[in-house]
Amino acid sequence: PKEHAALRGHLDIAKRLAGLTPPPKLHEIAEPLSRPASPPPNATSLGDRRSNGTTKEMNGSSRVPEPLKEFGHRYLADEAMVLVSLGTMDNRKTLAPVSLDDIALTDAHATQLDTALSVVVSAQGASGEPSIIDLPIQENISTSPVSFATRDPTKVKLYFDLVPTYAGSTNKPIGRAVAMLSTIKQSVGSKRMLLQGDLSVPIMAADTLEVIGSINFNFLIITPFKHPNMSISEDQTYWRSTSTMVIGHRGMGKNMASKTSLQLGENTIQSFITAANLGASYVEFDVQLTKDHVPVIYHDFLVSETGADVPVHSLTLEQFLHINNDTSRPASLSSSPEDEPVMSSGTSTPRFRQQRSYSHSDGSTLPTPSAMRDRMKHTRDFKAKGFKGNSRGDSIQSPFTTLEEMFVKLPTSIGFNIEMKYPMLFESEEQGMDTYAVELNSFVDTVLTKVYDLGTGRNIIFSSFNPDICLLLSFKQPSIPVLFLTDAGCEPVGDIRASSLQEAIRFASRWKLLGIVSSAEPLVLCPRLIRVVKESGLVCVSYGTLNNEIHNSRLQAQEGIDAVIVDSVLK
């Protein structure tokens, strides 16, 4: 019961049941965590994965490991894909895929709404077989979309025909709903899109043209991506690592308030290089786009360093880099005694002495730690956490960086786990953001272009909490593996595909992704769930503060987890 509860995202129940069962035990001889300092430079996936490579066993013998996944999954070449899902992905809503209006009993025979009915989903201006769905529609229909292919998505019209189930023909619909993809969604400007994806169109009766119900649906358009460097090799595979790998979270770890030592600023060049030098196979970082569509490295959706909550996509590159540009600070100031925290009596939270402003050589000044805190004190992140990652006084601050700078400055021996940071509707609502963002295809194409321009010879994987981003990454290119990130039920979410470990497995398996990256909590609570993931043909990776405890990482390694993302690669 405990494992079933954890699998389905009911972690509160799983924790209660854990108190009634023996805790998972670590074997005396656990498989060591693998931390190769120099991954193979010319593989394009995780671990030691050349097709002719051999793996040393513990007894000294050699064997050729079987690849878990092979290169060359199906991807779009010339035509765009349109995925149509009935109902809603938002598990906070109770929205029926097909809603029929109540009618008078005397009119039931004329409308045929008193008979068994089906919905036929078809498309004009696109190829693809019509899909017939019987009413009432099953509960999980929204995660099983209907697929169409087209060369011009703007010319596609979706038809939802209501037909008698046992009529033997779909040529005489009782009613029809129509959606034109070019106009059904509200425009919010060039290369922008609304995050609200649920749509509704009325069903018109064939005989009377009266409205007899509505169709609730959403759709996703995936356009093809082309790049001269995009190719696959027959002798490469996605995964050949046979031991648990260590991935540095945001480099040397995310910045935390309850730190025991001064940390390097998260998501900075210095942090990534340090993590790699200490043995991390990969470094994980978050990529977002600026207003002028430049990929930058930043974790939070809102930039608080300005003193206001500003989305990354609302700042130009110049504005973004200027916020934390500390390159001209005199080196002698880095060890100034006035930078040192003073512990307040009766509390573990450091306060800072009153300081004078640091001066640049050009006469400008740098804000002191106390001034930075005062500037950010009204922002959302600072109110919630009491600090901001990579901020002066809380960590060893370094300038913000771009994806291009990452490729240029970091050796190709350092693998990249690129997390595509793109908000879902519920996340934008929680953050108090406007419910629009960079258009999905534009976002993914921009990052892919930079990766294929500069990523030759480097091990790269993509990951994202956003299921649609994972779909786009998978269908646009064949050579870089994609992992689906999931909270696995640790936090409430507004997308059914991200609601539990079980749903994450279903999603990744259905769309043939490389695997999932799960919160470590359910896997530490129920380590056998790692086998459930792997027996589904998926790579299993975990993240979270629980991985910072070496016991928890070894417990997962014992069950065969493929990689752990940690804040300290030294442990």
pLDDT at 51 over 70: no
Q: pLDDT at position 57, please?
A: 38
- Domain presence at residue 338: no
Domain annotation covers residue 21: yes
**Which residue from 285, 284, 280 is spatially nearest to 34, judged by alpha carbons?**
280
Per-residue pLDDT, 445: 98
SS3 6: helix
The answer to whether the beta carbons of residues 72 and 478 sit under 8 Å apart is yes
* CA 515, 518, 524, 529 torsion-angle sign: negative
532 vs 246 pLDDT, higher one: 532
- The most confident of the ranges 52-61, 142-151, 361-370 is 142-151
Q: Which residue has the higher pLDDT, 278 or 183?
A: 183
Buried b (16+ CB within 10 A) or exposed e, 101-140: eebeeeeeeebbbeeebbbbbbbebbebeebebeeebeee
What average pLDDT does this structure show over 141-155?
95
Which residue type sits at 364? S
In a domain, 357, yes or no: no
Give, in degrees to the nearest 5, the angle at Cα 237 between 234 and 241.
150
3-state DSSP assignment of residue 327: coil
Q: How far apart, in whole angstroms, are the C-alpha atoms of residue 168 and residue 132?
A: 12
Q: Using the 3D structure, point to which of 206, 222, 238 is the last residue of a domain.
A: 222
**Comparing 108-112, 303-307, 533-537, 561-565, which segment has the lowest mean pLDDT?**
108-112
CATH number where 188 lies: 2.60.40.150
Inform me whether the pLDDT recorded for 222 exceeds 90.
yes
- The mean pLDDT of 524-529, rounded to a whole number, is 94
| 148: pLDDT strictly greater than 90 | yes
Same domain, residue pair 405 and 323: yes
| Mean pLDDT of the region 389-398 | 52
> In this structure, what DSSP letter does residue 143 have?
G
Residue 345 covered by a domain: no
Q: Tokens 């358009």: give the residue.
A: 221
Query: Which one is predicted more confidently, 370 or 228?
Result: 228
Mean pLDDT confidence for 551-561 = 92
What pLDDT score does 112 carry? 63
Q: How far apart are CA 429 and CA 427, in angstroms?
A: 5
C-beta of residue 463 within 8 angstroms of C-beta of residue 420: yes
218 shares a domain with 232: no
The yes-or-no verdict on residue 512 having pLDDT over 90 is yes
Q: Give the pair of three-digit tokens for residue 416.
A: 């990249």
Any idea which residue has 């700042």 for tokens? 315
Q: Is 332 left (phi over 0), alpha (psi -120 to 50) or beta?
A: alpha
CATH assignment at residue 420: 3.20.20.190
Rounded Cα gap, residues 83 and 64, in angstroms? 39
Do residues 561 and 435 both lie within one domain?
A: yes
Examine the domain organization and report whether 216 and 234 are in the same domain.
no
Confidence at residue 398, expressed as pLDDT on a 0 to 100 scale? 65
Q: Which of 192, 222, 252 is where one domain is finished?
A: 222
Residues 6 or more apart whose CB falls under 8 angstroms from that of 219 comprise: 82, 83, 84, 85, 158, 179, 181, 197, 199
What is residue 148's three-state secondary structure?
A: strand
Assigned domain for 354 exists: no
63-77, 132-146, 252-266: the lowest-pLDDT one? 252-266
C-alpha 89/C-alpha 97 separation (Å) is 11
How, if at all, do strands 157-164 and 460-464 pair?
Answer: unpaired
Question: Could you tell me which residues come within 8 angstroms of residue 550 by beta carbon, excluding any fewer than 6 positions away?
Answer: 571
pLDDT at 308 over 80: no
Task: Tell me, yes or no, whether 98 lies in a domain.
Answer: yes
- Say yes or no: 91 and 9 in one domain: no
Of the ranges 183-197, 372-386, 442-456, which one carries the lowest mean pLDDT score?
372-386
Please tell me which residue, 283 or 486, carries the higher pLDDT value: 486
Q: 221 near 445, Cβ under 8 Å? A: no
136 preceded by cis ω (within 30°)?
Answer: yes
Q: Enumerate helices (H) and strands (E) in the chain, giving the number of each.
A: 15, 29
**Whether residue 408 is found in the same domain as residue 277:** yes
pLDDT at 277: 76
Q: Which H or E run contains 233?
A: none
Q: Which residue has the tokens 């027996």?
A: 535
In tens, the pLDDT along 326-340 reads: 544 333 333 333 434
Q: Which two tokens stand for residue 433?
A: 């953001």
Question: Do 276 and 302 sit in the same domain of this protein?
Answer: yes
Identify whether 144 is part of a domain.
yes
- Which amino acid, one-letter code, is at 407? F
- Helices 501-510, 467-476: inter-axial angle, 10-degree rounding: 20
In a domain, 187, yes or no: yes
* Range(s) of the domain holding residue 434: 2-72+228-329+366-566
Measured in residues, the chain has a length of 571
7 and 117 in a single domain? The answer is no
Is the pLDDT assigned to residue 393 strictly greater than 70? no
Region 555-562 average pLDDT: 93
Residue pair 317/402 in contact (Cβ under 8 Å)? The answer is yes
Q: Which of 140-149, 166-175, 190-199, 453-462 has the lowest mean pLDDT?
A: 166-175
**Which DSSP letter does residue 250 get?**
T
Segment 230-253 mean pLDDT: 61
What single DSSP character describes residue 199?
E
Count of other CB atoms within 10 angstroms of residue 207: 11
Task: Residue 410: name the closest of 479, 478, 459, 337 by CA.
Answer: 459
Question: Of 182, 204, 222, which marks where a domain is finished?
Answer: 222
Residues 23 and 142 in one domain: no
In contact, 529 and 523? CB cutoff 8 Å: yes
In sequence order, what E strands does 256-374 have?
282-289, 295-297, 302-303, 310-311, 341-343, 350-352, 358-359, 365-366
Contact 271, 398 (CB under 8 A): yes
| Bigger pLDDT: 275 vs 490 | 490
Report helix angle 440-454 to 467-476, nearest 10.
50
Task: Give residue 85's pLDDT band: very low, low, confident or very high (50, 70, 90).
Answer: very high
Retrieve residue 102's tokens.
Answer: 């109540």
Residue found under tokens 């409430």: 492
Same domain (yes/no): 162, 292: no
Strand 460-464 to 341-343 pairing: unpaired
Q: Which two tokens stand for residue 215?
A: 């169709």
Residue 476 has pLDDT above 60, yes or no: yes
| pLDDT value of residue 107 | 61
Do 211 and 236 lie in one domain? The reply is no
Q: Which of the residue ranges 16-20, 93-97, 415-419 would you say has the lowest mean pLDDT?
A: 16-20
Per-residue b/e over 340-375, b at no fewer than 16 CB within 10 Å? eeeeeeeeeebebeeeeebeeeeeeebbbbebbbeb
- Of 38-52, 108-122, 406-420, least confident by mean pLDDT is 38-52
464 shares its domain with 554: yes
- 175-215 pLDDT, tens digit per residue, is 999 999 999 988 788 889 999 889 999 999 998 899 999 99
Pairing of strands 175-180, 199-205: antiparallel
Percent of the chain with pLDDT over 90: 46
> Considering its fold, how many domains does the chain have in total?
2
- Name the band, by pLDDT with cuts 50, 70 and 90, for residue 501: very high
CB atoms closer than 10 angstroms to residue 285: 25
